[in-house]
Amino acid sequence: MPRVVFALQWYSLLGAPLAWATQLVVGYFLTEAACGPAGSRWGIALHTWEGVLFAVTGIAALGAWASAAALHRAIARRELPNPHDRAKFLSTVGIAVGAIFVAMILYTGTGVLTLEECAR
């Protein structure tokens, strides 16, 4: 199996969950920086940074989901070798996992962008 296919199958499986984890961790630290006592003097525009983070993680997760679908389709058409059905299994799981984590990124991002900043 070519290295590109090997890397693609792991990206299609782990890309969306890692994007969501990144959104949560970086978003938490952005909120702490903007809403903490020191951050109030910095003038951090929280919704702007959260919007950028939402867009970047959403694109990464959608890319992983699309690569899982493309890999699954290529295997189904027998365009790629499929030793021991591992690539087919990982692409199938990547489609399911990608859909779940894309939805979670959408829910998290829209919630953060619609709620009030720094409610105390």
Q: Each residue of 14-38: pLDDT tens digit? A: 999 999 999 999 999 888 888 877 6
* 21 within a domain of the structure (yes/no): yes
Report DSSP letters for 69-102, one per residue: HHHHHHHHTT-S--GGGHHHHHHHHHHHHHHHHH
Question: Contact at 8 Å (CB) between 83 and 9?
Answer: no
* 120 within a domain of the structure (yes/no): no
* 68 within a domain of the structure (yes/no): yes
* 29 within a domain of the structure (yes/no): yes
Domain interval for residue 101: 3-114
* Number of folded domains that form the chain: 1
Q: Each residue of 37-83: pLDDT tens digit? A: 766 666 667 888 899 999 999 999 999 999 999 988 888 777 666 65
* 17 within a domain of the structure (yes/no): yes
**pTM metric for this prediction:** 0.85
Query: Burial of 88 by CB count in 10 Å (0-12 exposed, 13-18 middle, 19+ buried)?
Result: middle
Sign, CA dihedral 54-60-62-65, equals negative
* 69 within a domain of the structure (yes/no): yes
